[in-house]
Structure 1
C-alpha cells in the first residue's frame, strides 16, 4: 500500500511530545513490512539541515496570500524515510517552537499555518501526478492536519480513504469564527455535524467527522473519550461515529529505547545483568550531586509539567517520602507554577532532589536507566510512551489507572484463560483515584516492594520481558488500512 502520513512534528527532525515519536517510528515499521510510506511536514527553521539534499521541488502557488508554498522532496538520513517538507518562510521560519512563541503563547496565525499544511497534504493526496506518486491511504494526525479532510470533503472528490489519529483530544485546534475566512474553506462545512465547535471551528473535529476511520493511541482511551469526563466536548460527536473508532496502542522503537543497545547511558544491561542498572543509578546520583546511598529508591519524572499529568499531586506527597529517604529526579517543563514548585522542592532537599527545566533527550535516557520507579499520576493519558520506555529499562512505573497506562501497567499478575503466554505479569504500581492520598499509597507500596529485593527484581524482569515494539502493533495498522481499501 502507498500511505501518505501527515504530521506537524516527526522525530528525529523535531519533537515536542509523543506525536513526534509515533510519526517517526510507525512509518518506518510499515516500510519494514513492505509498504510504501511517505511523510509530509512543515519545513520549520533548521529542518533542512537535518535532511538529505533536496531531490525535487514544486511550487504550489500562494493560496493563502502569505507567500508561495514549496513542496521539497527529500528523505530522513537516519532511517531513509521519504519526506516532503512544506516550505513557506512567512509561516514556518520561526525562532521558537512549532506551535508557540518564547512566552509559551500560541502563534496567532496557527490556523493559517496548519490550514496550509493540510491544504498541501490534501492537494498531494488528490494529485499524485505532481510528485509521480499516488497515495492509496491518507493518514492524518491531530488537529494540525485535520483540515486536510475538510478540503477533500469540500472538493467533493472520490477521495482516497482517510484515517485520523487522535494523540490527545484536549488539543482540538479550535479558533474564533472570524478566522475561518482565512482557511478558504466553504461556510457549508460549519454545521454542528461538520467543523463547528461551540461557536468556533475546529481542525480536529474536521479530521474526525470527515475521516473514514478514527483511531486513538490506546484501547482504553478510545472508550474513555466517549464519556463527558474525558471527551473534552467531542464525546457526543465521537459517540455518533463510534463504529469507525478504535484504539491501537503505540509502539516503542527498541533500537532507540532499550538498555542493551542504548548509546546514551553509561552502562548497558539486560534482564540477566540487572546489577548494571545499579551502576547507572550510582552514575545518575553522582551526575546530580545527590546522596549516593543506592539502598534507597529514586523516583523519576520525565514529562510535561502540567496538572493533566498529575504532577501537582507529586509535589503534594513528595516531602513525606523524601523524609523516608527517597530521592527524586525531574526533567520537564510546562506550567510556571509547577516549575517553581519543583525548583523550590530541590532547594529544600538539595541532597535528595534534582530538577532540570527543559527537555534533553540524552538525559532522559540516563534517567530511565538510573531511577528505580517512574511517576506518571496522570488525570488522563491517551497512551503514554515514558512508561513503555521505563518497562524495558526495568524501571517500575507508578501510574494512575487511565488510558494507555491502564492498558500497559499492572500491579498484580492475572492469569489468562488457561492459554499459555496469556498471563498478565505484574510490572508496576497502580492507583485509581486522581488524588494525593491514592498516589501516596501507591508510592509507599512501591517503597515497601523495593525493600524486598527478590520481589522487586521479579517485577523488574516481568517489566523488561513485555514486548511493545512497533513490529507487534504494525499488523493492526495494516489490517485497518486494508479494510478501508476493501470497502
Structure 2
C-alpha cells in the first residue's frame, strides 16, 4: 500500500512529545513490511539542516495570502523515509517551538499555519500527479492535520480513505469563529455535526467527523473517550462515530530504547546481565550528587509537569518515602507552580532529590537505566510511552490505572510488571509507592517483576499488522 502520513512533528527532526515518536517510528515499521510511505510536515526553522539535500521543489501557490507554499522533497537521513517538507517562511521559520513562541504562548496564526499544512496534505492526497505518486491511504495525526479531512469534504470529490489518529483528545485545536474566514473552507462545514465546537471550530473535530476511520493510541483510551469524564467535550461526537473508532497501542522503537544497545547509557545490560543495571544507578546518583546507597530505591519522573500527568500528587506523596531513604530524580517542565514545587522539594532534600527543568533526550535514557521505578500517576493517559521504555530497562512503573497505562502495566499474577493504583489522589499513590518500596527490599520478588517487564514485546513490529489490517479494510470497502 501507498500511505501519505501527515504530522506536525516527526522524530528525529523535531519533538515535543509522543506524537513525534509515533510519527517517526510507525512509518519506518510499515516500510519494513514492504509498504510505501511518504511523510509531510512543515519546514520549521532549522529543519532543512537535519534532512538530506532537497531533490525537487513544487510550488503550490499562495492560497492563504501569506506567501507561496513550497513542497520540498527529501528524506530523513537516519532511516531513509521519504518526506515532503512544506516551506513557507512567513508561517514556519520562527523562533520558539512548532506551536508556541519563545514565551510559551500559542502563535496567534496557528489556525492558518496548520490550515496550510492540512490544505497541502489534502492536495497531495487528491492529486498524486503533483508528486508522481498517488497514495492509497491518507493518515492524519491530531488537530494540526485534521483540517485536511475538512478540505477533502469541502471540495466534494471522491478521494482516498482517511484515517485520523488521536494522540491526546484534550488538544482539540479550536479557534474563534471570526478566524474561520481565513481558512478557505466552506461555511457549510460549520454545523453541529461538522466542524463546529461549542461556538468555535475545531481541527480535531474536523478530523474525527470527516475521516473514514478514527484510531486512538490504546484500547482502553478508545473506550474512555466515549465518556463525559474523558471525552473533553468530544464524547458525543465520538459516540456518534463509534463504529469507526478503534484503539491500537503505540509501539516502541527498540533500536532507540533498549538497554542492550543504548549508546546513551553508561553500561549496557540485558536479561542475562541485569545486575549491571546497578552500575547505571550508581552513575546516575553520582551525576546528581545524591546519596549513593544502592540498597535504597531511586524513583524517577520523566514528564511534562502538569496536573493531567498527576505530578501534583507526587509532591504530596513523595516526602514520606524520602524520609525512609528513597531518592527522586525528576526531568520535565510545564506548569510554573509545579516546577517551583519540585525545585522546593530538591532544596528541602538536596542529598535525595534532583530536579532538572526542561527535556534532554540523552539524560532521559540515563534516568531510565539508572532508576528503580518510574512514577506515572496520570489523571488520564492516551497511551504513554515512558512506561513502555521503562519496562524494557527493567525499571518498574508505578502508574494510575487509566488509558494505555492500564493496558500495559499490571501488579498481580503471572504478568506482574509494576505497581498500579486506581484513584487520582495522593493517598492511593502513596500506598502504591510504599508497596513498590516494600517489594524493592524483597530481592527475589523485585527481580521476578523486572524479568517479566523486560520480556514484554511492545515493539512496532508487534503492532504494525493491526495498522495494515485497518488500512486494508478501508481499501476493501
TM-score class, shorter: over 0.9
Partner of 1:192: 192
Structure 2 counterparts to residues 35-184 of structure 1, below 5 A: 35-184=35-184
Determine if the alignment matches structure 1 residue 432 to structure 2 residue 422: yes
2:453 to 456, 459, 463: 463
Partner of 1:453: 443
Determine if the alignment matches structure 1 residue 398 to structure 2 residue 398: yes
Number of equivalenced pairs: 477
What SS does the aligned partner of 1:273 have?
A: helix
CA distance in 1, matches of 2:429, 2:116: 44
What SS does the aligned partner of 2:54 have?
A: coil
1:443 to 430, 433, 442: 433
Q: Deviations over 1:433-466 (max 9, x none)?
A: 0000000000000000000001000000000000
Structure 2 counterparts to residues 42-441 of structure 1, below 5 A: 42-413=42-413, 425-441=415-431
Q: Deviations over 1:118-161 (max 9, x none)?
A: 00000011110011000000000000000000000001111100
CA distance in 2, matches of 1:103, 1:311: 23
**RMSD, aligned α-carbons:** 0.4
Residue 104 of structure 1 and its aligned partner are, at CA, apart by 1.3
CA distance in 2, matches of 1:174, 1:380: 21
What SS does the aligned partner of 1:144 have?
A: helix
CA distance in 1, matches of 2:332, 2:340: 12
Residue 413 of structure 1 and its aligned partner are, at CA, apart by 1.5
Residue 377 of structure 1 and its aligned partner are, at CA, apart by 0.1
CA distance in 2, matches of 1:255, 1:5: 22
CA distance in 2, matches of 1:321, 1:105: 36
Q: Deviations over 1:297-352 (max 9, x none)?
A: 00000000000000000001111110000000000000000001001110110000
Partner of 2:473: 483
CA distance in 2, matches of 1:157, 1:438: 53
Q: Deviations over 1:390-444 (max 9, x none)?
A: 0000000000000000000000025xxxxxxxxxx10000000000000000000
What SS does the aligned partner of 1:84 have?
A: strand
Residue 98 of structure 1 and its aligned partner are, at CA, apart by 0.3
Residue 272 of structure 1 and its aligned partner are, at CA, apart by 1.1
CA distance in 2, matches of 1:484, 1:430: 37
TM-score by length of 1: 0.98
What SS does the aligned partner of 1:230 have?
A: coil
CA distance in 2, matches of 1:56, 1:475: 33
CA distance in 2, matches of 1:158, 1:60: 21
5+ residue gaps, structure 1: 415-424
CA distance in 2, matches of 1:278, 1:464: 16
What SS does the aligned partner of 1:274 have?
A: helix
Residue 216 of structure 1 and its aligned partner are, at CA, apart by 0.1
Residue 364 of structure 1 and its aligned partner are, at CA, apart by 0.2
Residue 201 of structure 1 and its aligned partner are, at CA, apart by 0.1
Residue 52 of structure 1 and its aligned partner are, at CA, apart by 0.1
What SS does the aligned partner of 2:423 have?
A: coil
Residue 275 of structure 1 and its aligned partner are, at CA, apart by 1.1
TM-score by length of 2: 1.00
Partner of 1:418: none
CA distance in 2, matches of 1:392, 1:272: 13
Q: Deviations over 1:10-67 (max 9, x none)?
A: 0000000000000000000000000000000000000000000000101101100011
Residue 103 of structure 1 and its aligned partner are, at CA, apart by 1.7
Partner of 1:421: none
What SS does the aligned partner of 2:135 have?
A: coil
Q: Structure 1 segments of 4 or more deviating over 4 A?
A: none
What SS does the aligned partner of 1:478 have?
A: helix
What SS does the aligned partner of 2:301 have?
A: strand
CA distance in 2, matches of 1:306, 1:67: 37
CA distance in 1, matches of 2:435, 2:338: 25
Partner of 1:422: none
CA distance in 2, matches of 1:303, 1:271: 26
What SS does the aligned partner of 1:78 have?
A: coil
CA distance in 1, matches of 2:396, 2:272: 17
CA distance in 2, matches of 1:270, 1:452: 21
5+ residue gaps, structure 2: none
